[in-house]
Amino acid sequence: MIRKLSLLAAGACMGAAVTIVSGTGQLPGLSTAVAASADTYRQLNLFGDVFERIRADYVEEPEESALIEAAINGMLTSLDPHSSYMSPKNFQDMQVQTKGEFGGLGIEVTMEEGIVKVVTPIDDTPAARAGVLAGDLIVGLDGEQVQGMTLQQAVEKMRGPVNTPIMLSVQRQGSDKPIEIKVVRDVIRIQSVRSRVEGDIGYIRVTQFTEQTFEGLKNAIDRIEKDVPADKLKGFVLDLRNNPGGLLDQAIAVSDAFLDKGEIVSTRGRHENETRRYSARSGDLTGAKPVIVLVNGGSASASEIVSGALQDHRRATIVGTRSFGKGSVQTIIPLGQNGAIRLTTARYYTPSGTSIQAKGVTPDIEVLQELPPELQDKVTETKGEAALRGHLKNTDVEKEESGSQAYVPPDPKDDKQLNYAFDLLRGLQANSAFPPSQEKAAIPN
């Protein structure tokens, strides 16, 4: 039996989605591979011929390991935007990142038509403080064009020693020419859960799903319930906006914290016997208090698992704008001393059996933010999964959806979505979607 090391639902960072890390070089649950056809062997011979011709005749002596790595990565990236090769260093960096601490600028990125796109700047990091915004396109790094780099190469260039600067050339919607932003690298320590009491409401923001997230959520709920008497506490706001994802087991645990029973998420692969279902255990940590979940165009992957589960069970009302739409599952397959490959092996589904791939989670109540004058006509929406070239198609929907507002005002008093949620919990706003009706839960019998 293949040993499962960990479950990762990394959002848009480096093109990852829900990922399963395998302890061997074989995909979990897959039967022995069918022998390659004679035509396949002919194609492999063609690869060998081209490789030898490059080695022998290229104008400069090429680095053979780099050629092999590029060939492997090209093969994987031709499949979809989220399959890729990770060098030993990049594999190690990914493992470090899931622990919630890594070096760099503090941005989650993906590749879009050869340009590095910012999915979201992480709260309280050098990039966020320097003014990098979700949806920005990074076209240059220290004067070097990004066009032609792989995503891994661009990420590698953005990382470096602490306290060293890097100049980002950013193309922002509505700007005629790139904006130059200087960012000083730092150790990025992610406090994945932040909370505060807003009078009679508990506010909990989850910025990423790391190994400490569920414990942080539990501690936040305990602190809020200690500070606000049960008869005074109106409910909780769970803020998942611009949360790109993280560990799948933590997304399941966060969902479970608000659910008493039922399925949370399922993953379905190419073969029927690869279906996996994850269900809630008895016990709601909030005592069934009302919950509102905030999402937007930067909420991806694990964030969509949580919001989709709570929405389907009618445990929470979803407020904001449509989420990113990352609904594919990647398996991380270690290759010994040669790094690892990230291979798309399945899709995930909400409890009602709905795939959010290239669609996203549609909020129960859509609330758009009001942009400040300096951002009007510049930042309108962030493109979602459906805009990525080569993305997996969602055949379950008539129309794929892409593009959703991802702006969150830095000052909470200007945050229209947050204040609308507060008003709903306090009864100052009325909407048929709140409180959600358990009788309308979209769960099959």
Phi, psi (5° rounding) for residue 9? -120, 60
- Of 83, 301, 323, 328, catalytic: 301
Does 326 participate in catalysis according to the annotation?
yes
Contact between 209 and 255 under an 8 Å Cβ cutoff? The reply is: no
Rounded to whole angstroms, the Cα distance separating 32 from 29 reads 10
Rounded to whole angstroms, the Cα distance separating 86 from 340 reads 5
Going from the C-alpha of 231 to that of each of 199, 225, 226, 234, the distances in angstroms are 13, 10, 12, 8
- Of 117, 234, 289, 326, catalytic: 326
- Of 80, 239, 249, 312, catalytic: 312
Contacts of 35-44 with C-beta under 8 Å, sequence gap 24+, read none
Rounded to whole angstroms, the Cα distance separating 272 from 386 reads 26
β pairing state of 201-206 and 235-239: parallel
Does 142 participate in catalysis according to the annotation?
no
Does 84 participate in catalysis according to the annotation?
no
Residue 42, burial from CB neighbour count under 10 angstroms (0-12, 13-18, 19+): exposed
Residue 270, burial from CB neighbour count under 10 angstroms (0-12, 13-18, 19+): exposed
Q: Give the per-residue SS3 of 387-420.
A: HCCCCCCCCCCCCCCCCECCCCCCCHHHCHHHHH
Contact between 292 and 325 under an 8 Å Cβ cutoff? The reply is: no
Alpha helices in 58-150 (DSSP H): 64-77, 88-97, 126-130
Q: So which residues are the catalytic ones?
A: 301, 312, 326
